Chains A and B, each alone.
Chain A
Amino acid sequence: MAKTHVTTIINGEPVEFLCEPQQTLLDVLRDELNLTGSKEGCSSGDCGACTVIVDGNIVCACLMLGAEAEGRNITTVEGIAEGDKLHPVQQKFLEHAALQCGFCTPGFIVAAKALLDHNLNPTEEETRYWLAGNLCRCTGYDKIIRAVLDAAAVMRGENPPSPAA
């Protein structure tokens, strides 16, 4: 069986890999490229734990073949922080304790970052709808939504009080 040779950009870096036709982008990220931040939850596009950004749109990496990545521009959770500096969404997830087991967190971080790339001033309702494709069985979502809205405020240059204060 012929493997496909793929050249793509992941987190700003050119990457080459070989993949089999049925390997998903998630399989490639985790098993070939050791980018294990994207999680495998349902493998059917329901849970959002494998959310990545492809050419500006969020997609489930489990619903995209690795071979389709040729020439695309992909951002995974590993590419959200700038070096040691956490993205405001990541920082606010920490401050709000917007996670318990943490399995869904990478997907939420990527999806929320993409939301704020599109819209720096989302309403709570817009935020909840945007994140409806990310499932969390621990938090009840409330802390996640507050973290994202606070991150938006930080990115708008406001200074929301830290929830711990």
Chain B
Amino acid sequence: MQWNSAGEFFAMGGYAFYVWGSFGACALLMLAEPFLAKRRLSEVRQSLIRERLADELELQQKTS
């Protein structure tokens, strides 16, 4: 290991902005994308569940 302290690690030999800017952007986008994909899936699921409940309710009203 080439780091003597945490400060040295975060300084990245003077390239902190460039190195952390790169890894940070990757981390940010690669956390945001799965979050958005999962939200899209749960939104369509929720709307399908609502639709089915509405259908069942309608059926109940017709039969009663």
Are A and B physically bound partners? no
Q: What is the interface of chain A, defined by CB distance below 8 A to chain B? A: none
